[in-house]
Amino acid sequence: MSAETGPATVRPTRLSRHLPGGLRPGPGAAPEQVQGEGAERAERGEAGGLSHLDQDRGHIMANFLLSFLALLLGGLYGPLQALDKMGINLYPYLPGVYGSYYLGLTLHGVGLALLFTFTFIIGFLSFAIVHGLRRPLASRRLGWAAFLTPLAGTILALVPLLRNDATVLWTFYAPLRAHPGFYAGLVLAVTGTYLAALNGYLTWRAWKREHPDQRTPLMAFASLTTWTMWVLASLGLAYALVMYLLPWSLDEQAEINQLLTRSLFWFTGHPVVYFWLMPVYVSWYTMLPAQVGGRLFSESLARLVFLLFLPLSIPTGLHHMFSDPGITHQAKLVHTVITFGVVFPSLLTAFTVVASLEDGARRSGGKGWVRWILALPWFTNPSVAGQLLAMLLFAGGGITGLINASYTMNLVVHNSLWVAGHLHFQVGTASTLTFMAVAYWLVPLLARRKLWRPRLALVQVWLWFLGMAVMGRGMHWMGLAGAPRRTFLSMARYADFETWWTAGLLTGLGGLVLAVSGAMFLWIMAATLLRSERAAEVPEVPEARPLLPVKHMPRVLDRLTPWVVVTVILTAIAWLPTLVQVARNNPLVPGWRLW
Amino acid sequence: MDIDRLERFWIMISIAVLAALMLAIVYSVRGFGVEVPTDVGQVDPRTARETEPFNQPGVRQVGPGHYEVVMLAEAWRFEPSEVRVPAGSTVTFRLTSLDVIHGFRIPNTNVNLMVQPGQVVEATHRFNEPGTYHLFCHEYCGAGHHIMDGMLIVER
Ligand code: HEM
Ligand SMILES: [Cu+2]
Ligand SMILES: [Cu+2]
């Protein structure tokens, strides 16, 4: 990297030389004129007005508020769990059933991984569809229903959970049997996502009627692809809940096929990761480049990435069951191969998103091979900084994820604390920190207020990054040193805190930093809504324009049906033999309450 | 579709890296003989105690230098919870659960299993170093999950 050493050597990089306008700040490069509707609309000056949001502002905000409540409830136990990993047991100080490590961990997992993410995503994708199509949702009622249903589900699930009647962790594997309210609540939470998806499709249909022969704007198309992936992927979980777990908890069925419900859980359990991630990509591809003054590197490839998640997300779930009996090597291997396939769109994302950021950085004066990175607003813009930091840990989590998925290598890490480390880099940071960062511009915009103390918000995202980096490092390490996941280690005989000391210390300290950061986020949100001044002018929604001209885009990149067909076929090949075999062979067993 | 030249290059690298990682997996199976569990049969948890081989939990020699350890898992213990084998022996673990899902993990080995009611699960490992190996349940199985453990003693 000799280009870096010379004083003012403004050497064009290969990329910048190659990209039109790459080095030159400001518009004027030819491709900008030949662009999609987004750009045309922007030129017509429509981006400014936000009246298309008026109808749906309310229920979108309501979903965000519900998600913040879930973040609060789920987050409470986080630091206690982290301290447990360094042998500090604070649970005896908690009253009654709340002193249960596993009740706390159930609240943490269900509250954060399921309720927080679902409700935030419902709000965010609804927003992205409304704004992408510049039109209100097809049904305002359905919009509110997509808030009230998960709200009812949250209450229904939390009541038994908080009464220690559903201490089954967020994976609720049978034959541990929870109170029926818990399963019913989850059904309602999933139903909420379906209602929001349905509203999205109806809106799309109406928009297409109003705009025949036009390409669907990327922001909306990517969001609709996300909904489609989730609707297909969640069928496994929905089937397990409605056909088996709920009736069994109601004593309608005496016994259960635990391996079948477990397999159905993982049918959804891997793609749910993409349900957490694709909304993040909606921001990284279609919004973040505009936040740094850049353009989206390639719209066609962006579409391809989203569409590839459809067929490739679902036929992978067995990589969570490598250590399971009753499932053949062949089936596990098929899922391994497809898992490596689904890494591919994320690798494409690494290129496209970084290239888009580079474009923005260069337009605001960034130079050099890598020095342009410093031209990004790491220390000035909390919303951008949060997303950039989320990307850094996401890259780390991607690598640990490849290790988890590596069939034989999985034996080293399966069910160890390493997995929890991985998961906090992914859903706990890539998704959560991005959602927080998005909330920093979106919540003020919806509430028509100014963000309260942006400097504090900047400190908050950095603390989350640092806390998570330290805690994640500790958990990965401790897992390799033999610590199991979701275990009350400070009370376990085999816990080897002497060997685990440093790793445990990192976990504990990182957890405390995270708790501070999480509290700061909630505080800033509350203050923004309650105390901050009203915004004077109508803010602008960041919407990235494509950098390269979209000359000829195959029609298949603007359609979902063909991809759905491929998805169904591939899923049937990868899952049906295993599901049928497990449904036939595995003995039925009674339920247990062991807590 | 227009794909930028650099991006095309990146796509090739991505595919090459993923292919190399898959080859590494194939090598770990073929070259090192690492095996993940597979379908080896079912047993009803209510009659498991009367069914071969789970009617006789414990260690038995099945060949020269080869031992079989049959174990039952239930909340919150393994039966037997202490096992002794001579150093240098190959040990096949065979487990099932009598109630809910449990785990079976011996750190620093490739023994990492889900123990489920209704299913038999197997793993084989060679123990060369004498010493005491802690083993434990690594799947949440209720309030006493963290006390569910045992000991494997490899004798000189
Ligand atoms: C205040 C910040 C947080 C802290 C200190 C924290 C800490 C922890 C710790 C120490 C564990 C391990 C418990 C164990 O294995 O015994 C854990 C588990 C878990 N956390 Fe967090 N966490 C935080 C935020 C989050 C977020 C934002 C999410 C997701 C959106 C999340 C999702 C989970 C899940 C799903 C588990 C269960 C993991 C499993 O099944 O093994 N956590 N958390
Ligand atoms: Cu997965
Ligand atoms: Cu157990």
Nearest ligand, CA B139: 3
User: B41-155 has which CATH code?
Assistant: 2.60.40.420
**Residues within 8 A of B (CB atoms), A 185-244 only:** none
The whole-number pLDDT of residue A170 equals: 97
Q: pLDDT of A425-440, one tens digit each?
A: 999 999 999 999 999 9
The whole-number pLDDT of residue A310 equals: 94
In this complex, the residue of A175, A402, A488 whose CB is nearest that of residue B100 is A175
Q: Does ligand 1 come within 6 angstroms of the Cβ of A432?
A: yes
State yes or no: pLDDT of A499 exceeds 80. Answer: yes
A-interface mutation test, from B21, B104, B114, most A Cβ less than 10 A away = B114
Please report, rounded to a whole number, the percentage of residues in chain B having pLDDT higher than 70. Answer: 99
Nearest ligand, CA A423: 1
Of A380-389, A401-410, B99-108, the one with minimum mean pLDDT is A401-410
Nearest CA in chain B to A403: B21
Nearest CA in chain B to A326: B39
Chain B residues closer than 8 Å to A167 by CB: 143
Quick one: average pLDDT of A36-41? 46
Q: Does ligand 1 come within 6 angstroms of the Cβ of A352?
A: no
Chain B residues closer than 8 Å to A169 by CB: 140
Q: Which residues contact A201 (CB under 8 A, 6 or more apart)?
A: A224, A227
Chain B residues closer than 8 Å to A478 by CB: none
Quick one: average pLDDT of A528-537? 89
Cα dist. A542→A39, A217, A385 in Å? Answer: 12, 14, 15
Q: What is the ipTM of this complex?
A: 0.94
Chain A residues closer than 8 Å to B24 by CB: 406
Of A436-450, A497-511, B26-40, the one with minimum mean pLDDT is B26-40
Q: Does ligand 1 come within 6 angstroms of the Cβ of A82?
A: yes
Of A41-45, A429-433, A541-545, B57-61, the one with minimum mean pLDDT is A41-45
Q: Which residues contact A515 (CB under 8 A, 6 or more apart)?
A: A75, A78, A79
Q: Calculate how far, in angstroms, residue A109's C-alpha sits from the geometric centre of ligand 1.
A: 7
State yes or no: pLDDT of A53 exceeds 50. Answer: yes
CB contact under 8 A, A347 and B10: yes
Query: Which one-letter DSSP state was computed for residue A11?
Result: P
Q: Does ligand 1 come within 6 angstroms of the Cβ of A423?
A: yes
State yes or no: pLDDT of A2 exceeds 60. Answer: no
Could you give the CA distance from residue B53 to residue B55 in angstroms, rounded to a whole number? Answer: 6
State yes or no: pLDDT of A39 exceeds 70. Answer: no
The whole-number pLDDT of residue B42 equals: 93
Query: Which one-letter DSSP state was computed for residue A381?
Result: -
Chain A residues closer than 8 Å to B33 by CB: none
Q: What is the largest CA-CA distance in chain A?
A: 77
In this complex, the residue of A341, A415, A592 whose CB is nearest that of residue B105 is A415
Q: pLDDT of B47-94, one tens digit each?
A: 999 998 999 999 999 999 999 999 999 999 999 999 999 999 999 999
Q: Does ligand 1 come within 6 angstroms of the Cβ of A78?
A: yes
Cα A141 to the center of its chain, rounded Å: 26
The whole-number pLDDT of residue A17 equals: 36
In this complex, the residue of A175, A408, A415 whose CB is nearest that of residue B117 is A175
Q: pLDDT of A198-230, one tens digit each?
A: 999 999 999 999 999 899 999 999 999 999 999
Chain B residues closer than 8 Å to A401 by CB: none
Q: Does ligand 1 come within 6 angstroms of the Cβ of A424?
A: yes
Could you give the CA distance from residue B89 to residue A261 in angstroms, rounded to a whole number? Answer: 38
CA B69, B72, B76, B80 dihedral sign is negative
Please report, rounded to a whole number, the percentage of residues in chain A having pLDDT higher than 90. Answer: 81
Q: Does ligand 1 come within 6 angstroms of the Cβ of A273?
A: no
Q: pLDDT of A148-160, one tens digit each?
A: 999 999 999 999 9
Q: pLDDT of A391-407, one tens digit each?
A: 999 999 999 998 998 88
Q: pLDDT of A163-184, one tens digit each?
A: 999 999 999 999 999 999 999 9
Which pLDDT band holds residue B34 (cuts at 50, 70, 90)? confident
Residue A516's closest CA among A441, A444, A462? A462
The CA angle A279-A280-A285, to the nearest 5 degrees, is 100
State yes or no: pLDDT of A16 exceeds 80. Answer: no
Whole-model pTM above 0.95?
Answer: no
Q: pLDDT of A266-323, one tens digit each?
A: 999 999 999 999 999 999 999 999 999 999 988 988 999 999 999 999 999 999 999 9
Which pLDDT band holds residue A4 (cuts at 50, 70, 90)? very low
Ion ligand 3 nearby residues (CB, 5 A): B 102, 137, 141, 148
CB contact under 8 A, B28 and A407: yes
CB contact under 8 A, A415 and B139: yes
State yes or no: pLDDT of A3 exceeds 50. Answer: no
In this complex, the residue of B25, B42, B116 whose CB is nearest that of residue A258 is B116
Chain B residues closer than 8 Å to A102 by CB: 140, 142-143, 145
Q: pLDDT of A559-578, one tens digit each?
A: 999 999 999 999 999 999 99
Residue A580's closest CA among A335, A326, A332, A256? A326
Nearest ligand, CA A274: 2
CB contact under 8 A, A340 and B100: no
| Min distance B6 CA to chain A CA atoms (Å) | 8
**Residues within 8 A of B (CB atoms), A 158-187 only:** 167, 169, 173, 175-176
Could you give the CA distance from residue A277 to residue A354 in angstroms, rounded to a whole number? Answer: 17
Residue A41 is encoded by which pair of tokens?
A: 């609309």
The residue whose CA is least distant from atom 25 of ligand 1 is A428
Q: Is A219 exposed, middle or buried (0-12, 13-18, 19+ CB in 10 A)?
A: buried
CB contact under 8 A, A408 and B28: yes
Q: pLDDT of B10-22, one tens digit each?
A: 889 999 998 998 8
Residue A486's closest CA among A73, A107, A44, A61? A107
Q: What are phi and psi of A465, to 5 degrees?
A: -60, -50
Average pLDDT in chain A: 90
Quick one: average pLDDT of A336-354? 90
Q: Calculate how far, in angstroms, residue A262's C-alpha sits from the geometric centre of ligand 2.
A: 14
CB contact under 8 A, A298 and B4: yes
**Residues within 8 A of B (CB atoms), A 290-329 only:** 297-298, 300-301, 304, 321-329
Chains A, B: CB contacts under 8 A, how many? 212
Chain A residues closer than 8 Å to B44 by CB: 587
Nearest CA in chain A to B31: A408
CA A525, A529, A531, A533 dihedral sign is positive
Of the options 1.20.210.10, 1.10.20.140, 2.60.40.10, 3.30.300.210, the CATH number for the domain spanning A55-534+565-590: 1.20.210.10
Each domain of chain A, given as residue ranges in start order, spans: 55-534+565-590
Choose which residue among A71, A73, A81 to substitute to test ligand 1 binding: the one with the highest number of ligand atoms within 8 A of its C-beta. Answer: A81
State yes or no: pLDDT of A26 exceeds 80. Answer: no
Could you give the CA distance from residue A330 to residue A333 in angstroms, rounded to a whole number? Answer: 5
Could you give the CA distance from residue A595 to residue A100 in angstroms, rounded to a whole number? Answer: 9
